[in-house]
Structure 1
Amino acid sequence: MEKILTKATVLIIPGLRDHVAEHWQTILETRLVKVRSVPPVETDKLNCAKRVARIQAELEKIEGPVILVAHSAGVLMTIHWAAKYQHAIKGALLVAPPDLTQSWPENYPSSDTLRQEGWSPLPSQVLPFPSILAASTNDPLAGYAAVADMAKTWGSQLVNLGAVGHLNPAAGFGPWPQAEQFIQQLDLVDDCVMSAS
């Protein structure tokens, strides 16, 4: 299968479960020519600051513009990163962000734990680069209305994906070809913009 060449380098930002073999982000990484992925942290895996520092460390290795592709808690990491660092970001695909104010299923960390680890409060700002927020109508980690509010806060283009759960292997994803279309849309943006410091 022919690989996809983008002008920008794509940086994959996984969620709390890091790299899962059958996850669409992992599959996407094999489909792209210019791609990197944020490696998992070895200790204090729930620490938000450590996760954000990993994004920055990976970005420092990339020359030229970047498209961020974040899923789940990776979206929240991206928001925290954008509030703290600068880089030439061409755009971001933000997929299925969880709602930190909502109670999550038992196999996920509690909101109290996440607050202690620095995830909330989440920075409330318009992102200084184009972004597409792809949302599910039946995500167990966030109601659609809450995600629509996030899109408004961040200045993101909101895309309703329908009832796709949390867009992860448990929901049947697996390959998600639409991600490639969103990346190509962001890759057409003419000018890179710097994230705010």
Structure 2
Amino acid sequence: MTRHLVVPGRGVPSAGHWSRSWVSADPEFAWAYEPPGPPFIAADRVAALHAAISADDEPAVLVAHSAGCLIVAVWASEHTGPVHAALLVTPPYVAPGWTPESPETFDGFVGTVPRQPLPFRSIVVASRNDPMATFEQFEAYARDCGSELSDAGPVGHLDSKTGFGAWHDGERLVRSLK
């Protein structure tokens, strides 16, 4: 059995969100930490992710959505642990070396978002019409992180607001990371 740790974005995913469906339907999937919602305190989320990864010697596959992808990047730049791979779903674009001017500009995010190769296999899922990043920005993010790029087509931010529930293509991508 492979353990999958789901890393939520800034908010609390709705009941119909694909990440909630995966966690509730499959015992191999668990929240890396329960989705806390705002404020987005990156240091707290990185610490919680590190605790979840370190709780077991079995390598994990991380499944991150939106701002959760930033948490994975920060974790990988600061820690090591048993991580086999990561699926990074529609990360919001932040420029290389970006640091918010104040914590209020990004719900408490403090620090720089790393843009360096991840020490494990990863796939960035890109949308052709995401309001938080252009396709070219997804391509740059994937290149900087040493990730494969998966073009999901025009899927918005791949969340409940854009009509995604079970997201079977995502399930296939996760299986490809085992």
Counterpart selection for 1:138 from 119, 129, 134: 129
Deviation at 1:124, TM superposition (A): 2.0
Please, what is the CA RMSD of the aligned residues? Answer: 2.1
Amino acid at match of 1:92: A
1:92-134 CA deviation, whole Å, 9 max, x = no partner? 0000000125xxxxxxxx996129621x531121001000111
Aligned twin of 1:63: 57
- 1:185 maps to 176
**Equivalent in the alignment of 1:105:** none
> 3-state DSSP class of the match of 1:180?
helix
Equivalent position of 2:16 in the other structure: 22
Which amino acid is 2:19 matched to? Q
Quote how far apart the aligned CAs of 1:154 are.
0.3
The 3 A distance-change label for structure 1 pair 111 and 50 is: closer
Match of residue 99 from structure 2: none
Mapping 1:1-197, distance limit 5 Å:
7-37=1-31, 38-41=33-36, 45-101=39-95, 113-114=105-106, 117-118=109-110, 121-187=112-178
Report the residue type matching 1:40 in the other structure: P
- Structure 2 Cα separation of the partners of residues 31 and 82 of structure 1: 28
- For 1:89 and 1:135, how far apart are their aligned partners in 2? 22
> Offset at 1:26?
0.6
Q: Output the CA distance in 1 between the equivalents of 2:176 and 2:109.
A: 34
Shift of 1:24: 0.5
Contact in 2 for aligned 1:12/1:36 (Cα 8 Å)? yes
Task: Please say which of residues 131-140 and 55-64 is displaced more in the overlay.
Answer: 55-64
- Asked if structure 2 preserves the Cα contact closer than 8 Å seen for 1:75 and 1:97, the reply is yes
Q: Do the aligned residues in 1 keep the contact of 2:3 with 2:60 (CA within 8 Å)? A: yes
CA contact under 8 A between 1:9 and 1:62: conserved in structure 2?
no
**Structure 1: segments with no counterpart, 5+ residues:** 1-6, 102-109, 188-197
Deviation at 1:86, TM superposition (A): 0.9
TM-score (normalizing by structure 2): 0.88
Partner SS state of residue 27, structure 1 = helix
Q: Contact conserved, 1:41 with 1:50, CA < 8 A, in 2?
A: no
Aligned residue pair count: 171
Write out per-residue CA displacement over residues 50-72 of structure 1, whole angstroms, 9 at most, x where no aligned residue.
11111112222233110000000
CA contact (8 A) 1:39 1:54 kept: no
Specify whether residues 115 and 36 from structure 1 end up closer, same or farther in structure 2 by C-alpha distance, changes over 3 A only.
Answer: closer
Deviation at 1:16, TM superposition (A): 0.6
Quick one: higher RCO (CA 8 Å, sep 6+), 1 or 2? 1
Amino acid at match of 2:61: I
After TM superposition, what 4+ stretches of structure 1 lie above 6 angstroms from structure 2?
none
Over the matched positions of the two proteins, sequence identity in percent amounts to: 35
